[in-house]
Amino acid sequence: MWHEPYTVVNGSNHDFVPLPGANVKVHPSMNSPESPSGRPIKTRLERGAALPLIWLALGSPALAEIAARSAPGAAVVIDLQHGLWERGAFEAAVGIAGSQTPVIARTADLSPTAIGAALDAGVAAVMAPLVESAEDARALVGASRYPPQGKRSGGGVRPLLAGIDAMRAANQQVAVGAMIETALGAQNAEAICAAEGIDFIFIGTGDLQLSMPEASPAQLQACCARIRDVAHRMGLPCGLFTSDAAAARQAFADGYEIAVVANDIGLAARGFAQALQAAQP
């Protein structure tokens, strides 16, 4: 399903995911006037702190709540591009999970409509897929910012409840991420990172592999590392999609600030298979 270029390093003792019930300081609810948890994730990214992600595609607000309660040190990603999320379920998930931990929306596409709809739900950050050029990056930022910095339209239940001052403040609070996940995007990484208003880079390893069919795993890993190094040189944190906690641990050890420690599809598939195997006589 997803290319995974990393293997576990023997003896690694990194542990980025708190156990359920651990005494971890969570993001306070309603930090941002427009979203349940706005500024903290942007501050965390600016500090370069490790940010583990829980990736949700199955469209369940209840599962989003479980993820937020179980991993308070992580951020929850709602996948609106490939996930099963309906609009009402997405809004509910942001309201429930976002009161406990930051919520990031992977938008359906690069369109202002998709980006605006995700932000109207009150997410702390958006990351848009298939950013391939400086023009794409600038369009992403423009769609994420209210005038005069951008062209985001004012509206949505949560922004309207928060009011016009909160809308203006959102320009400084919402984090904007560009997903580099094609050979062309990798080639233009420096121009993408240089676009004013981009807060972080996220590498889509699956689409990158599809875009580079002749590349070996080592070449794909090198391509990811080059994007990471470009982002760091431009002062931006960089992350990538990893298939499980072990791969995420290795990504953090390799200098990435953001990685996926768990995704709901993978957890369910592995859990069912392991349960069946464990029950065999």
Q: What is the pLDDT of residues 57-99, one digit of tens each?
A: 999 999 999 999 998 889 999 999 999 999 999 999 999 999 8
2 pLDDT tier (thresholds 50, 70, 90): very low
Tell me, rounded to whole angstroms, the distance of Cα 149 from its chain centroid: 23
Query: Distances from the Cα of 161 to the Cαs of 122, 138, 156, 275, in angstroms?
Result: 11, 28, 9, 46
48 pLDDT tier (thresholds 50, 70, 90): confident
In the chain, the N- to C-terminal Cα span, in Å, equals 31
For residues 232-260, average pLDDT:
98
Total number of domains constituting the chain: 1
For residue 30, the model assigns a pLDDT of 31
What's the rounded Cα separation, in Å, for the pair 143 and 152?
5
- Partner residues linked to 277 by β-bridges: none
CA atoms within 13 A on the CB side of 272: 5
For residue 5, the model assigns a pLDDT of 39
Is a pLDDT exceeding 90 seen at residue 129? yes
What's the rounded Cα separation, in Å, for the pair 67 and 60?
11
Kindly give the pairing relationship between strand 258-263 and strand 103-106.
unpaired
Tell me, rounded to whole angstroms, the distance of Cα 125 from its chain centroid: 8
Q: Which residue has the higher pLDDT, 168 or 118?
A: 118
Instruction: Give domain status of residue 231, yes or no.
Output: no
Is a pLDDT exceeding 70 seen at residue 27? no
For residue 159, the model assigns a pLDDT of 78
Instruction: Give domain status of residue 13, yes or no.
Output: no
The two three-digit tokens of residue 92, written as one number: 């509910």
- Partner residues linked to 75 by β-bridges: 53
What's the rounded Cα separation, in Å, for the pair 26 and 28?
6
Instruction: Give domain status of residue 202, yes or no.
Output: no
96: CATH: 3.20.20.60
Mean pLDDT of the chain: 87
- Domain region containing 113: 39-177+241-278
Is a pLDDT exceeding 80 seen at residue 108? yes
Using alpha carbons, select from 268, 224, 222, 216 the residue that is nearest to residue 242: 224
The two three-digit tokens of residue 223, written as one number: 């391509």
Is a pLDDT exceeding 80 seen at residue 218? yes
Instruction: Give domain status of residue 220, yes or no.
Output: no
Tokens 């209840």 sit at which residue? Answer: 62
Instruction: Give domain status of residue 263, yes or no.
Output: yes
What's the rounded Cα separation, in Å, for the pair 242 and 50?
14
Per the annotation, the verdict on 232 as an active-site residue is no
Instruction: Give domain status of residue 228, yes or no.
Output: no
Write down the catalytic residue from 3, 14, 27, 82: 82
For residues 140-169, average pLDDT:
88
Q: Mind giving me the DSSP string for the chain?
A: -------PPTT-----SPPTT---PPPPTT-SSSSTT-HHHHHHHHHT--EEEEEE-S--HHHHHHHHHH-TTSEEEEETTTS---HHHHHHHHHHHTTTS-EEEE-SSSSHHHHHHHHHTT-SEEEES---SHHHHHHHHHHHS-TTT--PPP-SHHHHHH-HHHHHHHHHH-EEEEEE-SHHHHHTHHHHHHSTT--EEEE-HHHHHHH-TT--HHHHHHHHHHHHHHHHHTT--EEE--SSHHHHHHHHHTT-SEEEEEEHHHHHHHHHHHHHHHT--
Say if residues 237 and 258 touch (Cβ distance below 8 Å): yes
For residues 24-46, average pLDDT:
55
